Amino acid sequence: MPVVHEVDVVVAGAGQAGLSTAYHLRRDGYEPERDFVVLDRAPGPGGAWRHRWPTLTYGRVHGMHALPGMPLTGADDDRPSSEVIGGYFAAYEDAFGLRVRRPVAVRAVREAGDGRLRVETSDGVWLARALVNATGTWDRPFWPRYPGQELFRGRQLHTAQYAGPEEFAGRRVVVVGGGTSAVQHLLEIAEVATATTWVTRRPPVFREGPFDEERGREAVALVEERVRHGLPPQSVVSVTGLPMTEAMRRAEEAGVLRRLPMFDRLTPTGVAWADGTETAADTVLWATGFRAALDHLAPLRLREPGGGIRVEGTRAVRDPRVHLVGYGPSASTIGANRAGREAVRALRRPPLPARPATGRPRPEPALAGAAPGPAGA
Ligand SMILES: Cc1cc2nc3c(=O)[nH]c(=O)nc-3n(C[C@H](O)[C@H](O)[C@H](O)COP(=O)(O)OP(=O)(O)OC[C@H]3O[C@@H](n4cnc5c(N)ncnc54)[C@H](O)[C@@H]3O)c2cc1C
């Protein structure tokens, strides 16, 4: 029999979104381990940043927002972002005593039968009033299906397995995808590969100039709109365009950013288009993004016919006990910060009813939401 714990709120995932949630819970008076618990499947701190390739140095990360309540200062731009941010997250968890439990993977969340959620994990069961799901996307790389994929004799890998450009030295490489990761891979690999080919489904849109707050808000609003209609969220780049950097301008001049439309199939020795053109390749790198890692929520049947989960604010429309943070419009470091705050605000219990006319004292609330019960306001 698994050990069964009782807690008010379970936070699944300790990346930016989960830690922001935990911080705001603490600020609201929730005690870690007593009122809430943070479960993370990874063996150490850092969320998805733990896995980012070594050449993605801190200086090359654009627009990383520090977690609430503790600035990230003095970081060396030349150090891998995985080390800088992993170290920062570790210090953060310590500073606020968040007591993240790891490695603990949430395997399934289902009805407990008494109004609570039953959170089944690799290390016991938690019964909780609410779940804040902050499991990110890194664990669900998206590989599109193309004819001939199984025939290709070279190597196929995804961004999730990319470890830097060295292994592509002397290879002919096809990079698939129109996002920031694809462009970063391409620029690095072009330095060492024999040949690179870049293919994307839609022509990439390059964005000149700074990404100001207004454009940021517009981009978030577009993703929000999809999520509100129960559609799977789009990547942020698909609505913001690719920021044109100096390195990209140089790569463009050198012909590295010459983009071809998506191929129609893979062959044993490369990729081919419907018009009969073929390009020989040793490696196909799928920089085709990630999907939200939400399989463990399947028993709750939150998905809409459109394939996405409809949320209002952070709350799942089909089950108000569940909040999704770092999902869709909040899938950025700043979005994750805000979503954590918003989820905690929504989790607060509704105010107690006005004091009855008899003057009988009403019970003092214990810690916000310490007892099990229906989801808050
Ligand atoms: C290559 C790349 C570069 C990026 N660069 C930037 C940038 O420059 N600026 C920016 O703002 N954003 C950037 N982003 C986006 C940003 O990293 C994310 O939006 C943000 O960090 C996500 O935080 P998160 O907490 O939602 O997810 P994650 O950081 O992925 O954290 C999720 C956590 O949940 C855990 N987990 C997963 N499943 C389970 C489970 N079943 N049970 C328990 N734990 C689980 C994971 O182990 C992980 O620790 C980038 C993304 C990528 C892929």
With a pLDDT cut of 90, the percent of the chain lying above it is: 72
| Res 27 pLDDT > 90 | yes
Has this prediction a pTM greater than 0.95?
no
Domain layout of the chain by residue ranges = 4-139+291-348, 155-205+241-286
Instruction: Please indicate whether residue 185, judged by its CB atom, sits closer than 6 Å to ligand 1.
Output: no
Residue ID of nearest Cα to ligand 1 atom 19: 332
- What local confidence, expressed as pLDDT, does residue 189 receive? 97
Which CATH fold topology does 4-139+291-348 show? FAD/NAD(P)-binding domain (3.50.50)
Pick among 3.50.50.60, 3.40.50.970, 3.20.20.70, 3.30.1490.110: CATH of 155-205+241-286: 3.50.50.60
pLDDT of 80-92, one tens digit each? 999 999 999 999 9
For 122-144, the DSSP string reads TTEEEEEEEEEE---STT-B---
Instruction: Please indicate whether residue 16, judged by its CB atom, sits closer than 6 Å to ligand 1.
Output: yes
Say how far apart CA 173 and CA 175 lie, in whole Å: 6
Say how far apart CA 81 and CA 207 lie, in whole Å: 24
CATH topology identical between 4-139+291-348 and 155-205+241-286: yes
Neighbours of 344 (CB within 10 A): 29
Residue ID of nearest Cα to ligand 1 atom 35: 13
Average pLDDT over residues 36-51: 97
| Res 347 pLDDT > 80 | yes
* C-alpha 135 to ligand 1 mean position (Å): 7
**Residues with Cβ within 8 Å of residue 18, at least 6 apart in sequence:** 11, 12, 38, 40, 47, 132, 134, 325, 326, 340
Find where tokens 């209002």 sit. 312
Say how far apart CA 339 and CA 18 lie, in whole Å: 9
Which pair of structure tokens corresponds to residue 273? Answer: 């288009």
| Res 375 pLDDT > 90 | no
* C-alpha 143 to ligand 1 mean position (Å): 18
Q: Report which listed range, 23-37, 205-219, 231-245, is most confident.
A: 23-37
User: Considering the chain, what is the average pLDDT of its residues?
Assistant: 89
Query: pLDDT confidence of 210, banded at 50, 70, 90?
Result: low
**Residues with Cβ within 8 Å of residue 327, at least 6 apart in sequence:** 133, 227, 233, 292, 309, 311, 314, 339
| Res 218 pLDDT > 70 | yes
Instruction: Please indicate whether residue 43, judged by its CB atom, sits closer than 6 Å to ligand 1.
Output: no
Say how far apart CA 301 and CA 317 lie, in whole Å: 11
Say how far apart CA 377 and CA 374 lie, in whole Å: 9
* C-alpha 49 to ligand 1 mean position (Å): 7
pLDDT of 65-76, one tens digit each? 999 999 999 899
SS3 188: helix
Query: pLDDT confidence of 345, banded at 50, 70, 90?
Result: very high
